[in-house]
Amino acid sequence: MPATASDLDRLAINTIRTLAMDAVEAAKSGHPGTPMALAPVAYAVWKDFLRYDPTDPAWPNRDRFVLSCGHASMLLYGLIHLAGIRRGRPGTADHAEPAVSLEAIKKFRQLDSVCAGHPEHHMTAGIETTTGPLGQGCGNSVGMAMASKWLAAHYNRPGHVLFDYDTYVLCSDGDLMEGVAAEAASLAGHLKLDNLCWIYDDNSITIEGETELAFSEDVGRRFEGLGWRVERVADANDAAALARALTAFKGETAKPMLIIVRSVIGYGAPTKAGSHASHGAPLGADEIKGAKEAYGWPAEAAFLVPPEVPAHFAATMGARGAAARTAWEATFETTRKADPAIATELGDFLAGRLPTGWDGKIPVFPADPKGLASRVSSGKVIAAVSAGVPWFLGGSADLAPSTMTLVPDAGSFGAGHYGGRNMHFGIREHAMAAACNGMALSGLRPYCATFFVFFDYLKPALRLSALGDLGVIYVLTHDSIGLGEDGPTHQPIEQLASARAVPGLLVFRPGDANEVAETYRTVLPRADRPAVIVLSRQNMPTLDRTGLGQAAGLARGGYVLKDADGGKPDCILIGTGSELQLCLDAAAALAADGIKARVVSLPCWELFSEQDAAYRESVLPAAVTARVACEAACGFGWERWLGPQGIFVGMRSFGASGPAGKLYEHFGITTDAIAAAARKTLGR
């Protein structure tokens, strides 16, 4: 370290390094090299710049720190431990416990430790987002920066600043090679997010070897072209240069910043500790001993934390954060007294509550044989929910006119006018979803939209929505061959099965406008669970519910839409979406033949499977084995509800170009086909 770093700074940095080495060695698994190399960089951010109160890890105006290169997780766990971050907020039982204890670090990557192989925010306080899939943390950070700007535009008042937090990101060569990071960087530059700082660890190493094998671009010039300010630090151990670059970020008022930092993986250890193996494997006892000797560290000591180091963090980051939080609380109290209505709104927002009467304007749609495309009814419901939930906001990947997600009079979010609630993500599905995860982590309720066939473009971020318990709402339209003439490139076939395979994700395919309304009424209270809402391009009838089950049954995932005469069906017809009407028509045709059919609407498999056994039996009685399901998609997964004797009517290939009606006939998704399948299951 240069002379500008104090002995206490060196001690703290080497504590971070040695904790990483020892934890990875104990686990016999992990990545020690990057935490060793980046310890000075992360330390500089935390000690002197990060506005964060370790005693209140959920303080709303804290700066965010994102470790996008999640394989370096021991860097973050060491920082959390040394900074003394508590497990919970003041006044909670968890406040007495450290978020990451030394015992937890000793059990790094083990089943009973909060120190997972890659950081998981829902497990451990001090972790702002779940990272590991490279580039995702970069994408999340853009959403966090957007959220800070939006909150500032809505709740700051002259002289009374409640929201102005910055977001810092540590990212690697691997992060910047990923497409999601490129999309996110493009969006951030366009939006001029001057509260966003990515610190790029330019160490020229990936798992296969030197980056020159596959990566030779000028990263700085690329980011300058994307509208970022770029600063360079030639040596990760140069404390003064790091401080200058970070100070420049704090003074930047027009652009996000990329700080390119040159590092050597495993810095400070003998030659082998800087090898490729240290990127993803333990160093071994001999190399650890050599590294510790190079640091002037007791060679035989393991998991050593000199008491001066936590005290130093408390005197710097801790004192600065506590003062900032205390000042913020005084500002909040002033705002509460000056504007009680805003205080009530903020109280709901900060508590994660929906405002009283939030769903009061959701429409009830009158029966209509012609009906509406469910994307159209969804647009009407989004507008209604927006009127009741100020922090419900979102947009689409350049498809708002088709996905019906543009809210009238809500304004557009953009550089210089951050108060709008209509987000324009551009044709960047992956970054859109990753940014929405960042917004959800900031307390907002975001939705994002595209055509369902492009589900695959955003799936990696959606998976992390589910893994991280983030209530992002995915509005996915043009749900089937019913979109017609655009043909098989745009007709989703396997996407429903793919979505339903994601643990924790709620997947809805509502069958009429009132089921659409109930979908939003069901989804919004679940801020801890993401949802996919799959919607049609073509019209579907708005059902006359006289004599039918009410749409409120959707809240249980599935319900009896129309029962057989006498309530004891010969067979059960199960439908979702636009095929629900086909099932109703087939039931009428079967009744003319003396066959009693029950029609079940099953718009959300996940919620239905979570109901008690008695309710599921009341809808799908085990004794009725003659079952037919109809959905204009592949049938993968339907066997769960059909049983061994049931028949699926749907797609077994990609679609084709042509008018929707012709396509349904061509692929045999018709009333007659459903009725014929029912007769076959009954042996008639």
Measure the CA–CA gap between 493 and 650, rounded to whole angstroms.
10
Asked whether residue 349 is assigned to any structural domain, the reply reads no
In the structure, what pLDDT confidence band is assigned to residue 5 with cuts at 50, 70 and 90?
Answer: low
What secondary structure letter does DSSP report for 578? Answer: G
537 with 582, same domain?
Answer: no
Mean pLDDT for the stretch of residues 119-126:
96
Residue with tokens 């009744």: 591
315 with 205, same domain?
Answer: yes
Tell me the two tokens of residue 562: 């129309």
pLDDT at 531 over 70: yes
160 with 192, same domain?
Answer: yes
Tell me the two tokens of residue 63: 């700066």
Dihedral angle sign, alpha carbons of residues 424, 427, 431, 433: positive
Three-state DSSP at 181 gives: helix
Asked whether residue 355 is assigned to any structural domain, the reply reads no
Give per-residue burial for 426-448: e unless 16+ CB within 10 Å, then b: bebbbbbbbbbbbbbbbbbbbbb
pLDDT at 1 over 70: no
Q: Please report the pLDDT score of residue 567 as a whole number.
A: 84
Mean pLDDT for the stretch of residues 588-593:
96
> What type of residue is 159?
G
Hey, which residues does 449 pair with through a beta bridge? 396, 475
Q: Please report the pLDDT score of residue 211 as a whole number.
A: 74
Q: Please report the pLDDT score of residue 634 as a whole number.
A: 97
- pLDDT digits over 249-297, tens only? 999 999 999 999 999 876 434 333 333 334 568 889 999 999 999 999 9
482 C-beta neighbours (distance < 10 Å), count: 24
Three-state DSSP at 532 gives: strand
Q: Please report the pLDDT score of residue 282 as a whole number.
A: 87
Asked whether residue 489 is assigned to any structural domain, the reply reads yes
User: Minimum mean pLDDT among 211-220, 306-315, 626-635: which range?
Assistant: 211-220
Q: Please report the pLDDT score of residue 542 as a whole number.
A: 98
Q: Please report the pLDDT score of residue 28 as a whole number.
A: 95
pLDDT at 629 over 90: yes
Write the CATH number for 492: 3.40.50.970
Measure the CA–CA gap between 218 and 287, rounded to whole angstroms.
34
235 with 299, same domain?
Answer: yes
587 C-beta neighbours (distance < 10 Å), count: 26
Mean pLDDT for the stretch of residues 636-646:
97
- pLDDT digits over 391-435, tens only? 999 999 999 999 999 999 999 999 999 999 999 999 999 999 999
**In the predicted model, what is the mean pLDDT of the chain?**
95
Catalytic residue set? 429
Q: Please report the pLDDT score of residue 3 as a whole number.
A: 34
Query: Contact at 8 Å (CB) between 215 and 173?
Result: yes
- pLDDT digits over 215-242, tens only? 889 999 999 999 999 999 999 999 999 9
183 with 242, same domain?
Answer: yes
Q: Which of 484, 474, 544 is nearest to 512 (CA)?
A: 544
Query: Contact at 8 Å (CB) between 89 and 192?
Result: no
User: Minimum mean pLDDT among 157-161, 167-171, 322-326, 390-394: which range?
Assistant: 157-161
Three-state DSSP at 210 gives: strand
Mean pLDDT for the stretch of residues 177-204:
96
Q: At what angle do helices 136-155 and 455-467 cross, to 10 degrees?
A: 80
What secondary structure letter does DSSP report for 153? Answer: H
Mean pLDDT for the stretch of residues 33-51:
97
Query: Contact at 8 Å (CB) between 378 and 535?
Result: yes
Q: Please report the pLDDT score of residue 279 as a whole number.
A: 55
Q: Please report the pLDDT score of residue 619 as a whole number.
A: 98
- Of 541, 575, 600, which residue sits at a domain end? 541
178 C-beta neighbours (distance < 10 Å), count: 21
Asked whether residue 612 is assigned to any structural domain, the reply reads yes
- What is the bridge-based pairing of β-strands 445-451 and 422-424? unpaired
Task: Report phi then psi at 458, rounded to 5.
Answer: -110, 0
560 with 600, same domain?
Answer: yes
- pTM of structure: 0.96
Asked whether residue 352 is assigned to any structural domain, the reply reads no
Measure the CA–CA gap between 206 and 212, rounded to whole angstroms.
10
Residue 594 sits in which domain range?
556-681
586 with 663, same domain?
Answer: yes
189 with 77, same domain?
Answer: yes
Q: Please report the pLDDT score of residue 280 as a whole number.
A: 65
Tell me the two tokens of residue 209: 């070897």
Mean pLDDT for the stretch of residues 521-549:
97
pLDDT cut 70: percent of the chain above it: 97
- pLDDT digits over 469-507, tens only? 999 999 999 999 999 999 999 999 999 999 999 999 999
Q: Domain total for the chain?
A: 3
Mean pLDDT for the stretch of residues 71-100:
96
Q: Please report the pLDDT score of residue 281 as a whole number.
A: 80
Q: Please report the pLDDT score of residue 265 as a whole number.
A: 74
pLDDT at 676 over 50: yes
Measure the CA–CA gap between 72 and 67, rounded to whole angstroms.
8
